[in-house]
Structures are given as structure tokens and as C-alpha cells.
């Protein structure tokens, strides 16, 4: 049974290492994709700036002979941006903010760009690239292909749409009561942080679950009220009464499915399996006992049996010579030898002292 447990543990560890390696590869690939998107977006902006500089220099150098750029085949898209400007590069997941403290319906103030100081409502928030779109701010003409304009019923080859703005370039506008005057006025919040409690939202509502606060003051900032989606009942929709009517009630007296179906739901011989049938466990235990028994048996010759018997007798005699504390006790022969040796040693010492005393007197 220990072999089965060891195999399961090794398989789980191997699968865990495989998942970690796959996540690492996916993270590396995501970072590479983000860098490619960032380089392409920067290249798009640099190409526009460079082309504008060349056109401006050409117009200045030619003077009255400057070309009429808003005419011809490319005149429709002159002065309009590519749709690529509406989609900034995505940020890798491990580098994104934990909490996005903006939601559609918030009032924000733009701090950078040509619309600096304008206040308007947020219409869209994109957490993947940490940008938001403000109503009637940072607008630009964007050129769309002819087939795309026809789908939306637009005759013009370009549309004036608001471009995304980075979250770092806006500040939240909150209505707070002035403690001195008691008048409610708009305040620009420099720093906002998110935290608990985490709330449950209704299905179909994109309002974040966390709660946001003003840093330093710990004043809670309420989220804007989301607009509930309106659904139109159709003939093919299921009635609410039929949806809420219970059609099956589970019982504790019966199993949810027969035991024989369990082997069809998961692999019976899977190496990741941790719960086994009692019959399988008993079989593995018997195999372990049989293996131990076979390992304990050994082929011995008559001489080997004699030596083992002698060794066992010596071990038993050695155990008999131990006292209650487990220390070895000396036999009578050893005790008599030690006693005789100590007596002889004491006699020799006395005679030696007498001889030394006599030599001292004679001198």
C-alpha cells in the first residue's frame, strides 16, 4: 500500500511542477505579447509624428505648390487616426492594479493633455490596459474602413470618438460636505485606495465588488448607481413560474447515482487517485505482508544454523549477566583476580616505604 501512496504523491508533485512550469511559460508569453503591443503602439505614434513633420516641412518648402492632401484617393482619411489608437496595449496580469477605483458613471477631472481641467462622466473603464473613456473629452477623428462604416449605417469614412485616457491622468471628483460651512461642494481626490468589505453584486452589473476610500481621511466613496438592464420578454422565453417550480428534490435515503457509475465518471486506475475501495486496500496489505515474509526467509546450511544457535545462546547468557539497571555484572573469577591484585599492590607499596625510611636513617 505504501507503494501506491508513494506513486500518488510523486504523480501529484509532478503534476504540480508541470502546472507551475506552464504558468511560468504563459506568463512569459503574455509579457512578450504585451511588449510587442507596446512597441507597435509606440511605433504607430512615432510614425504619425514623423509623417506630420515631413508634411509640414514639404508644405513650407513648396509654398503655393504644396499638394492638396485632403483630395485624391487618400483624402478621406487625411487628418484621421487609425483604429489602432482606440486600443492601447494590454498590461500583463501580474503588473496590473489589484483594485480599479473607477466605474462608469463617475465624474473625473482630466489632469493632462489638451482637455486639462475638464470634468465629465466616465463612460467606459478597461481594466486590461488601465484606461477609461470620458464623455466628450479627448475626442479625435478615427478612420474606419468602408465595410465597417456600412455595417453601422455611417456614410462618413471617419467618426469623432473619445480616445482612452490613462487612469493616472485623471482624478476622481467627489461631492463632500465642507465641515466649516456645511455646504456640499465638489472636491478633487488626489489618492484613492480600495479595500474591504467586498460586496456581492447582482448579475449583469459591472460595478466592482470592493469598497473605495479617500487616502488619509478614510472616507468611503460611494459607487455610482448602475443602470439595471432592461429585458424584453419574447415568446420563446421560459416563464418565471416554470423556472422557480422545483422539479427534483434530492433524498438522503438514496445515493445520487449507483456506485457502478463512479468508475465511468473518473478513471478507476488513475495514478492521482487517493481514495480506494476496501477490497483493493486489503489486497495491497496482503501483498505487503507476503513481501515481508519472503524477505525474512533465507536459505541456511547446517553450519549456518549451528552458528546462529551459538550466537543466540551467547546473547541469552549476556542478558542473564545484566542487573536490574541493565549494567553488566562481573563473575567470581574476575572479582577474585581484582581482589588478589589489589592486595599484592598494597603489600609492595608498604615494603617500598619501609626501605625508603631505612635508607634515610642510614644516611
The parent domain of residue 211 ranges over: 79-231
pLDDT tens-digit map of 54-99: 989 998 998 888 888 777 667 777 778 888 888 888 888 888 889 9
The band of 204, judged by pLDDT with boundaries at 50, 70 and 90, is confident
The residue among 205, 231, 257 that closes a domain is: 231
Closest CA relative to residue 85, chosen from 45, 28, 133: 45
Exposed (0-12), middle (13-18) or buried (19+): which is 358, by Cβ within 10 Å?
Answer: exposed
Any domain includes 223: yes
Residue 352 has pLDDT above 80, yes or no: no
Mean pLDDT value of segment 163-173: 91
Query: Do residue 89 and residue 225 come from a single domain?
Result: yes
Any domain includes 351: yes
Entry pTM: 0.60
* Cis geometry, peptide bond prior to residue 197 (ω within 30 degrees of 0): yes
Mean pLDDT value of segment 210-215: 91
Any domain includes 283: no
Number of domains the chain is built from: 2
State whether residue 126 is helix, strand or coil: strand
The residue among 200, 216, 231 that closes a domain is: 231
The residue among 213, 231, 249 that closes a domain is: 231
Contact 55, 63 (CB under 8 A): no
Q: Which CATH number goes with the domain that contains 192?
A: 2.30.30.30
Residues 256, 259, 262, 264, Cα dihedral to 10°: -110
Any domain includes 139: yes
Query: Do residue 202 and residue 338 come from a single domain?
Result: no
Query: Do residue 224 and residue 322 come from a single domain?
Result: no
Query: Do residue 84 and residue 217 come from a single domain?
Result: yes
Amino acid at each position: 500500500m505504501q507503494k501506491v501512496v508513494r506513486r500518488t504523491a510523486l504523480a501529484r508533485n509532478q503534476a504540480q511542477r508541470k502546472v507551475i512550469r506552464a504558468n511560468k511559460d504563459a506568463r512569459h508569453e503574455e509579457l512578450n505579447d504585451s511588449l510587442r503591443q507596446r512597441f507597435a503602439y509606440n511605433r504607430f505614434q512615432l510614425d504619425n509624428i514623423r509623417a506630420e513633420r515631413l508634411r509640414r516641412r514639404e508644405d513650407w518648402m513648396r509654398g503655393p505648390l504644396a499638394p492638396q492632401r485632403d483630395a485624391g484617393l487618400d483624402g478621406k482619411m487625411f487628418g484621421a487616426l487609425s483604429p489602432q489608437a482606440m486600443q492601447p496595449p494590454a498590461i500583463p496580469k501580474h503588473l496590473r492594479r489589484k483594485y480599479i477605483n473607477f466605474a462608469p458613471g463617475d465624474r473625473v477631472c482630466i489632469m493632462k493633455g489638451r482637455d486639462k481641467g475638464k470634468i465629465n462622466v466616465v463612460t467606459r473603464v478597461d481594466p486590461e490596459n488601465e484606461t477609461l473613456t470620458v464623455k466628450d473629452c479627448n475626442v479625435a477623428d478615427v478612420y474606419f474602413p468602408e465595410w465597417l462604416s456600412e455595417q453601422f449605417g455611417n456614410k462618413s469614412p471617419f467618426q469623432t470618438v473619445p480616445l482612452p485616457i490613462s487612469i493616472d491622468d485623471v482624478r476622481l471628483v467627489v461631492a463632500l460636505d465642507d465641515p466649516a460651512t456645511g455646504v456640499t461642494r465638489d472636491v478633487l481626490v488626489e489618492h484613492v485606495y480600495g479595500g474591504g468589505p467586498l460586496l456581492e453584486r447582482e448579475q449583469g452589473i459591472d460595478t466592482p465588488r470592493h469598497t473605495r476610500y479617500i487616502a488619509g481621511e478614510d472616507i468611503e466613496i460611494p459607487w455610482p448607481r448602475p443602470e439595471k438592464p432592461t429585458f424584453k420578454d419574447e415568446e420563446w422565453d421560459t416563464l418565471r413560474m416554470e423556472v422557480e417550480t422545483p422539479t427534483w428534490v434530492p433524498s438522503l435515503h438514496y445515493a445520487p447515482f449507483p456506485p457502478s457509475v463512479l468508475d465511468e465518471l473518473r478513471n478507476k486506475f488513475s495514478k492521482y487517485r487517493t481514495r480506494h475501495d476496501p477490497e483493493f486496500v486489503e489486497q495491497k496489505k496482503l501483498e505487503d505482508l507476503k513481501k515481508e515474509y519472503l524477505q525474512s526467509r533465507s536459505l541456511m546450511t547446517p553450519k549456518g544454523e549451528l552458528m546462529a544457535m551459538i550466537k543466540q545462546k551467547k546473547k541469552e547468557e549476556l542478558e542473564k549477566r545484566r542487573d536490574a539497571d541493565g549494567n553488566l555484572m562481573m563473575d567470581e573469577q574476575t572479582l577474585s583476580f581484582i581482589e588478589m591484585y589489589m592486595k599484592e599492590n598494597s603489600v609492595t607499596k608498604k615494603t617500598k616505604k619501609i626501605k625508603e625510611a631505612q635508607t634515610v636513617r642510614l644516611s
